[in-house]
Chain A
Amino acid sequence: SPPPSPPLHSFHLLLHQELDTKHDKHERLVKLSRDITIESKRTIFLLHRVTSVPDVEEVLTEADLKLDGVRLNIRMIAEELRGEDLHQFHRAFTPGIQEYVEAVSFHHFIRHRTLISLEEINTKLVFVKEPEGQQPMGTPQVLTFQVTPTDYLLGVADLTGELMRMCISSVGNGDMDTPFQVSMFLRQIHDGFSYIGNTGPYEVSKKLHTLRQSLSKVEDACYTLKVRGSEIPKHMLADVFSSRTAMMDQDEGMA
């Protein structure tokens, strides 16, 4: 008669633990990513108020606090990923990270009128762990999360949509400078993406179409402002833009 099978249950139990650990970690990362997405979106929403309030700095400071909260969640992601293969879990947290890049670059543009660099983003994601009681030399542990160039690009691509919205709403508030600043900035970003073209990851190429649409809207808005702005009473400027962008949206619908 054949020899008895090895104790199946015991080794299945070990597999069960390993499988559970993997799934649990994935779930925790997905939750963190979701929280980051929600709070980043709220920050972006808050930042849009700068076009209609007198004290821009107050909005920026409040947004800063929100982003500090987001960074605490990113720190927790970094803790989870310690010693792990990043590629195994990237899909779990990439949505949140892209949203964070969008929020932080929006914040940066409003304050500095420039594009935040990948390095500047990652510098803020270096976390120092305070040495715990018993450690002999008390050396602080450093934990980092590094945003990849691809996630950075995807976040910046999404930023362009918010910039377009900002441009349109600033016109509605009689701000004649912001639209042109945004237009110039947006064009630079678009040119940057064109330069990368199809040599980047597939997900980046996909966003190029939406990016071009946003740029078109902004450039057309600036054109109208320039050519006809002086003719139109200020309180009616907003109407010109809303009808103009509505026309463009209609065209797109028919295309």
Chain B
Amino acid sequence: MSVTEMFSYIQAFLSADQEIRADVLLQDIRKVVQVLEQTAREILTLLQSVHQPSGFKEIPSKCTKAKELFCTVRTQLGELKNKFPVEQYYRFHEHWRFVLQRLAFLAAFEVYLESACLMTRDEVAQILGIEVVRKKGFHLDVEDYLAGVLIMASELSRLAVNSVTAGDFGRPLRISNELDSGFRLLNLKNDPLRKRYDGLKYDVEKIEVVYDLSIRGLTKEQEAGGNK
């Protein structure tokens, strides 16, 4: 084969199936991801309102609404799955990584608001209608799940502060502590996940301070009531 023939062959290969079609696939993928991001923003707006003073009472109804939106998410993720060959998940992973982490966070946050439980990766994947094992199909990568959990930890520390402000001392917010010790069992490399985890200790501190202060606040109020 001459040099010219070799390059013609390579050029043909590049423009055929594998390489150039990636551009076309990317367009489709980006469109679906944009739609997913829109839905994620709606869920976020809905759940973020719990930080407002009036928000706490409305938590059950917000969770119900959020669950409906997750139905939409499942449909949209279903569409995303069809936009590329299943075995090329990691080729395009970067394009949906951000929104998937967001959705993992939102799913875990919604469940926490309802039941004060931390969702497992399997449960998150179930809410999103995707797999956990790569070989079974479009899956939730372990690092994306962990990133979602860490985003939630941040959100919970914020919730701790705001619930005290709203006069609600009863929220058990020790969950960050458990998250921290769980994460300590993991060996994190020096990557974005690790940096997020480093931020966790500030969230944990914040929650503990708020919790302690709120306990003292409760005690003071009881004493004051008793002396009257």
Interface residues of A (CB under 8 A from B): 1-3, 5-6, 8-9, 11-13, 15-16, 18-20, 22-23, 83, 85, 87-88, 114-115, 117-118, 149-150, 152-153, 185, 188-189, 191-193, 195-196, 199-201
Contact = CB atoms under 8 A, between A and B. Distances in A.
Given A114-B3, A149-B10, A188-B2, 16 more contacts: A1-B172, A5-B175, A8-B118, A9-B185, A12-B186, A22-B142, A85-B87, A85-B88, A85-B91, A87-B88, A87-B93, A115-B2, A153-B10, A191-B3, A196-B11, A199-B11
A225 B1 CA distance: 30
A19 B175 contact: no
Contacts of A11: 120-121
B178 interface: yes
Given A149-B13, A149-B14, A5 B183 contact: no
Given A19-B187, A87-B88, A115 B116 contact: no
A88 B141 CA distance: 11
B interface, over-half SS: helix
A153 B14 CA distance: 11
A20 B178 CA distance: 21
Interface of B: 1-4, 6-11, 13-15, 19-20, 87-91, 93, 115-118, 120-121, 134-135, 142-143, 145-146, 172, 175, 178-179, 181-183, 185-189
A1 B187 CA distance: 34
B60 to A, nearest CB: 14
A188 B2 CA distance: 9
Contacts of A2: 115-117, 172
Given A117-B1, A185-B3, A196-B10, A5 B185 contact: no
Given A192-B3, A193-B7, A199-B14, A19 B186 contact: yes
Contacts of B4: 188, 191-192
A47 B186 CA distance: 47
B187 A5 contact: no
A12 B181 CA distance: 9
13 contacts: A1-B172, A2-B117, A3-B117, A5-B116, A5-B118, A6-B118, A19-B187, A23-B187, A83-B135, A85-B89, A87-B90, A188-B2, A201-B19
Nearest to A187: B3
A13 to B, nearest CB: 6
B91 A87 contact: yes
B6 A15 contact: no
A239 to B, nearest CB: 32
A36 to B, nearest CB: 22
A4 to B, nearest CB: 8
B3 A189 contact: yes
A85 B19 CA distance: 17
Contacts of A189: 3
Contacts of A13: 185
A3 B121 CA distance: 19
A192 B11 CA distance: 9
A196 to B, nearest CB: 5
